[in-house]
Amino acid sequence: MAEPILKVRNLAVGYPTPAGMLQPVKGVSFDIDAREVVGLVGDAGSGKSTTALALLGLARAPGKIMGGSVKFDGRNLLTLPDEDIRAIRGRDIGIIVQNPRAALNPMLKVGRQIGNAYAAHNGGSASDARAQAIEMLRMVGINDPERRVDTFAHELSGGMAQRALIAMALSSRPRLLIADEPTSGLDVTIQAQFLDQMWQTVQMTGSAILLVTQELGVIANYCDRVLVLHEGRIVEDAPVRQFFAAPRHPYSQDVLRLYREKGSDYPAQVASGAPVLMQAKGLTKNFPIRHSSKVVHAVDQVALTIRKGEAVGLVGESGSGKTTVGRCLVRLVDPTDGTILFGGTDLSRLSNAAMRGYRSRVQIVFQDPFDSVNPRWTIAQILDEPLRLHSTDDAAARRKRAAEVLALVNLPEALLDRKPKGLGAGALQRINIARALILRPDFMVLDEPTSVLAPRARNALIALLARLQAELGISFLFISHDLTTVRFLCQRVAVMYLGQIVEEGSVEQVFSAPQHPYSRALLSAHLFPDPTHRRVDHPEAAALQGEIPSPIDLPKGCYLASRCGFANDACRSTPQVLTQQDGRAVRCHRVVAGEI
């Protein structure tokens, strides 16, 4: 066995606080071999990013490295003088971080920054640096690099900024690349594209990777070995197949529990005779742009039917318009056109006063739990507001109802008199749900309730939602970019792309046999945590190319034409129509014609 290129022994990092020294990393030890891809997984606050930075002898102020050693080529990086460690950083060990646009200097052109990184380790004139920058940008798959090299960080999309970082990190062919949650800010398809691109580039440069992430799917599909970090210590170090098959440490078992129990069955369909609760037809919403006649086409002729007691999933990437649809249904946003029938009344045309009556029967839960509760109020006041607005009960009755609904989301009544400050994301999201349930609504929109939660809190919330649906028979519109959650919760699902529904059907139909090229790419890009079926082992034809077009001047034909592998001239010229076909619908003339 060749010498491991990196040997880390009881690395510790601490933060001085008025309440004494806080140690997120309490003594971490592991090795990385040449050309090996090692995954480092753990909850938020488990010290993953602090460890990654500490490998380079760095810590975010006011933290500092307390002890331990990081041996690279036999030299302990933590004790090297400043010039030597600076030479190693970037030349031998590259790093990319989770918030690419913040990591790039906002005031310098991207090309110059990459050039600076290259010149720092390889010398050469300014023109060499620029040529090298263009070459690196091409290598990481950015189209027309000659123009992109002169753009600024704020002009790049998340995906492109991350590729620029990779170009910078790998410009000196380092032997180890540290990737600290590189895709946490990216859409699913972009994430897949990015990870594939990183994987290919690293094959060329021959670097090992330390891949830090919270997503088990990423670990399963890209890593050879897994390190599990829990409360500042490595609690498990195993090959990926063995880890997923038989996790030894209780924490690992807990994290994997959801995937192990759920297996592959789908939630039962609602009886076909169930009455229709909420039906949107031709729902359209355009947002005007200041100082120009142009308009952003956020939602375009969307039709949705939700039956009583049914949970419908609405999936798609950022900019697909799914959030706007959700807001239109609860009239937080007034639709430009179309009707929203709820129990026979068209909500879209009601005046604010008339709509107030329906507010108690139609509720919404938002994505960021910390942001959706008034920080200055106690939980009792937060839960009491809807009651105060809509019910005539006295204070005592309202307080009893509040305690009742807290128990429903299995939170202790003692929470009533506390303020949101200091509560965890999971608990706060349950309070949000409790607030939505308190008026016993018929219909609830859930706008990406799980995206902010850590894996374990996410699993608990999904279990809760499933129980509530069964017990209370509430209808859900579940908006999310996390297909795993939709798969376990919803009966039907609709896939949205650039304001339009491109495919709709039961969860089983769409998940097992997606028809529209976008649904296929979405599903294949979704990294199911199954190491036996790794994405890297067989590159998918369904991967999409290029960037999402802008929603302001939409293409004439199919919106996906510029990125779809199956696109032909007809696709590019004729606008696509959503056509019903044996209980499901698709917006692609080639699928309807059975060509693909």
How many residues in the shown chain lie near other proteins by CB under 8 A? 86
Can you tell me which of 376, 396, 422, 532 binds other proteins, judged by CB under 8 A?
Answer: 376
> Under 8 Å CB-to-CB from 561, ≥6 apart: which residues?
555, 567, 571, 572
Q: Which of residues 501-520 bind other proteins (CB under 8 A)?
A: none
- Is the Cα dihedral 384, 385, 388, 391 positive or negative? negative
Contact between 418 and other proteins by CB under 8 A: the answer reads no
Interaction of residue 546 with other proteins, rule CB under 8 A: no
User: Which tokens in the block code for residue 4?
Assistant: 């491991």
Between 108 and 541, whose beta carbon lies closer to other proteins? 108
Rule CB under 8 A: choose which of 6, 8, 65, 95 binds other proteins: 95
What's the token pair of residue 413? 């009544």
* CA–CA dist 193, 201 (Å, integer): 12
Please check whether residue 51 is in contact with residue 68, taking contact to mean a CB–CB distance below 8 angstroms.
no
- Interface with other proteins (CB under 8 A), residue from 1, 18, 20, 123: 18
Q: Which of residues 119-148 bind other proteins (CB under 8 A)?
A: 120-121
Minimum CB distance to other proteins, residue 49 (Å): 5
Q: Which stretch binds other proteins (CB under 8 A): 4-12, 94-102, 203-211, 514-522?
A: 94-102
Task: Say whether residue 168 binds other proteins (CB under 8 A).
Answer: yes
- Does position 161 bind other proteins by CB under 8 A? no
CB of 336 to other proteins, least distance (A): 19
Extended beta strands in 203-347, E state = 208-213, 225-230, 233-239, 276-288, 295-307, 311-315, 337-342, 345-346
Quick one: 101 or 563, whose CB is closer to other proteins?
Answer: 101
Q: Are residues 189 and 521 in contact, defined by beta-carbon separation less than 8 angstroms?
A: yes
Smallest separation (angstroms) from other proteins to the CB of 499: 14
Dihedral sign from CA coordinates of 99, 105, 109, 112: negative
Give yes or no for residue 17 binding other proteins (CB under 8 A): yes
**What is the layout of strands, in order, in the sheet containing 295-307?**
295-307, 276-288, 337-342, 345-346
User: Using the rule CB under 8 A, is 47 a contact of other proteins?
Assistant: yes
**63 near other proteins (CB under 8 A):** yes
Interacting residue with other proteins among 5, 40, 53, 306 (CB under 8 A) = 53
CB 201 within 8 A of CB 207: no
Q: What is the phi/psi pair of residue 77, to 5°?
A: -60, -30
Read off the DSSP letter of residue 455: H
Site stretch for other proteins (CB under 8 A), options 267-275, 409-417, 444-452, 556-564: 444-452
DSSP lists the bridge partners of residue 283 as: 302
Select from 97-105, 284-292, 523-531, 578-586 the region that touches other proteins (CB under 8 A): 97-105
Minimum CB–partner distance for residue 340 and other proteins (Å): 15
Q: Please check whether residue 433 is in contact with residue 474, taking contact to mean a CB–CB distance below 8 angstroms.
A: no
Neighbours of 567 (CB within 10 A): 17
Q: Which of 73, 337, 385, 540 binds other proteins (CB under 8 A)?
A: 385
Which of 233-241, 451-459, 489-497, 571-579 is the region at the interface with other proteins (rule: CB under 8 A)? 451-459
CB of 19: closest distance to other proteins in angstroms? Answer: 10
Task: Tell me how far CA of residue 163 lies from CA of 94, 137, 139, in angstroms.
Answer: 13, 8, 10
Choose the stretch contacting other proteins; rule: CB under 8 A; options: 105-113, 128-136, 284-292, 411-419: 105-113
3-class secondary-structure state, position 360: coil
- Residue 62, interface with other proteins (CB under 8 A)? yes
Is 266 a binder of other proteins (CB under 8 A)?
no
- Within residues 310-349, the interface with other proteins by CB under 8 A covers 317-318, 323, 330, 332
Candidate ranges 29-37, 177-185, 391-399, 569-577; the one touching other proteins (CB under 8 A): 177-185
**Is-contact 576 587, C-beta < 8 A?**
yes
Taking CB under 8 A as the criterion, the residue among 104, 218, 408, 477 binding other proteins is 104
Contact between 16 and other proteins (CB under 8 A)?
yes
Stretch that binds other proteins, among 89-97, 306-314, 469-477, 499-507 (CB under 8 A): 89-97
Footprint of other proteins on 187-246 (CB under 8 A): 187, 214
Q: Are 521 and 530 in contact (CB under 8 A)?
A: no
User: Binding to other proteins by residue 448, rule CB under 8 A?
Assistant: yes
Based on the shown chain and the rule CB under 8 A, indicate whether residue 292 belongs to the binding site for other proteins: no
Distance from C-alpha of 465 to C-alpha of 445, rounded to nearest angstrom: 12
Among 8, 28, 32, 49, binds other proteins (CB under 8 A): 49
Whole-angstrom distance, CA of residue 590 vs CA of residue 558: 11
Decide: residue 80, CB within 10 A, 0-12 exposed, 13-18 middle, 19+ buried.
middle
Eight-class DSSP state of 448: S
Q: Which one-letter DSSP state was computed for residue 219?
A: H
CB distance 363 to 441 below 8 Å: yes
